Structure 1
Amino acid sequence: MGHTDEKHNVVDAKQKAIDDWLPVTASREAKWYYSAFHNLTAMVGAGVLSLPYAMAHMGWGPGITILTLSWVITLYTLWQMVEMHEMVPGTRFDRYHELGQYAFGEKLGLYIVVPQQVVVEVGTCIVYMVTGGKSLKKVHDSLCPDCKDIKTSYWIVIFASVNLVLAQCPNLNSISVVSLGAAAMSLTYSTIAWGATIKKGIEPNVDYSIKSHNTADAVFNFFSALGDIAFSFAGHSVVLEIQATMPTSPELPSKKPMWRGVVFAYIGVAFCYLPVAVIGYYMFGNAVDDNILITLERPVWLISAANLFVVIHVIGGYQIFAMPVFDMLETVLVKKAKLPPCLALRIITRSVYVGLTMIIGISVPFFGSLLGFLGGFAFAPASYFLPCIIWLKLKKPKKFSLSWIINWICIILGVLLMTLSPIGAMRNIILSAKDYKFFS
């Protein structure tokens, strides 16, 4: 009997050594405010700058309704995920797919959650590569209009090299300073975006009619704008991983500090999103560009600064979304391929990942339009309705009780979002495909 116990202890010790090494479970010392800025960095992407453009495709009523609804629904589903992190006493679901496996079974849980999570995280990393490179180029071009033109590809390489260094940080807590900087930057450039818009003043003959040539155009653009908004609430795929860094005890479960951080993050999200969307659309109407900083060209130094802040923010965002991917890769290499957990393994794995996202970003610079397409497929389930399905399956609220009704409403709206937004995005991709150049 003692022999099997020893065996178990060896296995447990081995498992613990691996968990202490993996980036998500390595450090459990996070404070509640880490959760606030990690979540804010994950949520507020550079997507906030395209919100006035989404509004121009939706008009006042639907635009504000959908933004507000998205904010409320995703806050609710985020609360569910925070609650479910420790719903089994003594067990923590440190990763989204572990919760999925508990709800749907070992195999099916992986098949349901992992592809979505990978699309969201890897997709976001690639988009951030392109955004970072383009924003660096804008800073250079606006500060030095007479300099030699440098291709966006080179700027993406420069941006990638910064991430290559930062990607070597072992775990989420070790990038908390980067994350704090990124969260501060997202608040700053959002404020610059709406502040400079107010200063510029309302356009003469501003037009609030829906931006389109015909009915089909209006409908498809509306669907595509839905995808843009879904992409603006993409933090759910990293939320359990962020909560995994919190300490926990029966007296003070991890959900308390985590939820406190989430609430602060969501106040920040509202502070970033609503003024940019409403003021940007109010001032420019349907003449607004898909990035409000492009519509604002003056004052040069301020817009350059805003673009630089976007770069800093996107660096932090890249790290937050890459960390769970590193965790998955390193788990597979250490547990399945039985490689020893060591620094060399980590450096090689992460450098290859950063390199690949860079190459895809350079070769497919129109990745943004693909995002509306992917956004619907992956972002909508991960943020809007998968948590509700898991909640219904595990918590089993009574039929027609308030919880049951709310979850079903979220599921129906989420499924609509998932089916409609890729249609609009697909059409945009086809319409502009003739102008696409690989490796531009």
Structure 2
Amino acid sequence: MSHQQDYRGNEHGGGRRIDASNWLPITASRNAKWYYSAFHNVTAVVGAGILGLPYAMSQIGWWSGSVVLILSWIITFYSFWQLVELHEIVPGKRFDRYPELGQHCFGPKLGYWVVMPQQLTVQVATGIVYGVTGGKSLKKCFELLWPACGDYRTTYYILFFVCLQFVISQAPNFNSLKGVSLLAAIMSIGYAAIAFIASTIQGVNYREDVSYGVRSPTVSGQIYDFLNGCGTIAFAFAGHSVSLEIQATIPSTPEKPSKHAMWKGVVVAYIVVALCYGSVAISGYWAYGNHVEDDILISLMRPAWLISLANFMVFLHVIGSYQVFAMPVFDQIEQYLVEERGLPAGRPLRIICRSIYVATIGFISMCVPFFGGLLGLFGGLVFASTSYFMPCIMWLVTQKPKVMSLHWICSWISIVLGVLLAVLSPIGGARTIIVAARGYKFFS
């Protein structure tokens, strides 16, 4: 529940309210600059999902894929603006967390239980996918340079990624991650550029018998592929689930509200998103057609050193991006334990609860390393809500725009398309996982 509204935080036996806002990861430091917002948002949005965009294009097709990608950029850019504006929609009050805004819009209990599970699922799903991505990318990096390393199981590489997260997860708050997040943002731009350049070279010099027909020979398979592709694209626009938490780290005064700095960072991030997503999706599908892998870097084979470098960049990126999405989860866990259960705030609490979370997510990543299916399943299941239509619903509830006005029309278009995406695309993702799981052995 929101510590701003009706937290029942009591110390054991004392009944005294605990104010942990100066210690919790989201609200402990509010001195972020606008460019912190830029690279936090680049890190959050330009994530592992970009690697699956050529595969999504191969499932949907040239024109349909391009339309879905462009519409997703426009809708999520608009809904991002709504969240930035809603952060301080009540004068003198800040909604530092997504569930707090939900409480304001839908009521203390309903709002919390509508928004919190969705946001939490996004963070957890991203952690799982990034665990898989980090392990597979590191393995591919070593395979290209030292082929003998390919004999080692993917599980070992995921485990190494998890071990790194045990250490980095002890960063106390969001602003303490600015260096890690900046490195991750640079890496995301770097591997996107390499994927674009290498795919273009492949398409110009080595492309033979590339087919742009549908991947599946059956009508049912084509429908499932289309749904999974839409979910994959939805997964690529995941930054909304941490946008309020990022904005909470920016200082705000009546004369200079946080939304100005935050929006400047969002605009920069979305320009980067447009350049990276468009170039990777189009070049990867153009070069490999319907034979492109669900991770474009797996399709790229030469030059080996360059593709190895790109995979290592992905590995470094997901280290930082994992933390950006994990920090709100740490905040929720620590807020509950301190303010609800009365546990003492401090390093022992952080070490224990964060380590348990990282270990749990790591174990799941090692059990289900199905990259393409996970993108489609999670992308539609929860990412469509938090990024596509939940901000629009909140805007309609709080701002009550005039019927048939611009914001009313845009919000309802986003809601309708987002709900269709949320309902249909998980079907394709689940089917992709089921097909990929045939003959799979755990911890292979």
TM-score grouping bracket, smaller chain normalisation = over 0.9
Amino acid at match of 1:190: A
Specify the code of the residue in structure 2 equivalent to 1:339: L
Which of residues 412, 422, 425 in structure 2 aligns to 1:421? 425
Change (3 A) 1:15 1:167: farther
Q: Corresponding residue for 2:151?
A: 149
8 A contact 1:47–1:232 mirrored in 2: yes
How far residue 204 of structure 1 moved from its aligned partner, in angstroms, is 2.3
Code of the aligned partner of 1:144 = W
Q: Which residue of 1 aligns with 2:308?
A: 304
The structure 2 residue matched to 1:391, chosen from 374, 384, 395, is: 395
Letter in 2 for 1:129: G
Q: Which residue of 1 aligns with 2:292?
A: 288
- Match of 1:168, SS state, is coil
Three-state SS of the structure 2 residue aligned to 1:435 is: coil
Give me the whole-angstrom Cα distance separating, in 2, the residues matched to 1:348 and 1:92.
Answer: 30
Q: Deviations over 1:38-80 (max 9, x none)?
A: 0010011111111111111111111111101000000000000
* CA distance in structure 2 between the aligned counterparts of 1:309 and 1:346, rounded to whole angstroms: 29
Is the deviation greater in 212-221 or in 298-307?
212-221
TM-superposition CA deviations, 1:143-166 (whole Å, max 9, x none) = 111357222112112111111111
Aligned partner (choices 100, 103, 116) of residue 101 of structure 1: 103
CA distance in 1, matches of 2:210, 2:153: 35
Kindly provide the amino acid, as one letter, of the partner of residue 169 in structure 1. A
For structure 1, which runs of at least 5 residues remain unmatched after alignment? 1-9
Residue range with higher mean Cα deviation, 257-266 or 336-345: 336-345
Output one character per residue of 1:93-114: Cα deviation in whole Å (capped at 9) or x when no partner: 0000000010011111111111
How large is the Cα RMSD of the aligned pairs?
A: 1.6
Question: Which residue matches 1:197?
Answer: 199
Q: How does 1:329-368 map to 2 (within 5 A)?
A: 329-366=333-370, 368=372
User: Runs of 4+ in structure 1 displaced over 3 angstroms?
Assistant: 14-17
Structure 2 counterpart SS, 1:438: coil
Counterpart position of 1:128: 130
- Per-residue displacement from partner, 1:170-204 (whole Å, max 9, x unpaired)? 01100000000000000000000010111223422
Residue in structure 2 matched with residue 319 of structure 1 by the alignment: 323
CA distance in 2, matches of 1:80, 1:37: 20
Q: Which amino acid aligns with 1:53?
A: Y
Which residue pairs with 1:185 in the alignment? 187
CA contact (8 A) 1:132 1:314 kept: yes
Does residue 438 of structure 2 align to residue 434 of structure 1?
Answer: yes
CA-CA distance at 1:287 after TM superposition: 1.9
Residue 254 of structure 2 is aligned to residue 250 of structure 1: yes
**Alpha carbons 2:43, 2:317 under 8 Å: kept:** yes
Give the alignment partner of residue 74 of structure 2, picking from 47, 72, 76. Answer: 72
Please give the alpha-carbon distance, in whole angstroms, between the structure 2 residues aligned to 1:38 and 1:252.
21
Separation of aligned partners in 1, 2:219 and 2:391? 35
Partner of 1:6: none
Residue 88 of structure 1: aligned partner: 90
- Letter of the 1:111 counterpart: W
Give 2:6's aligned residue.
none
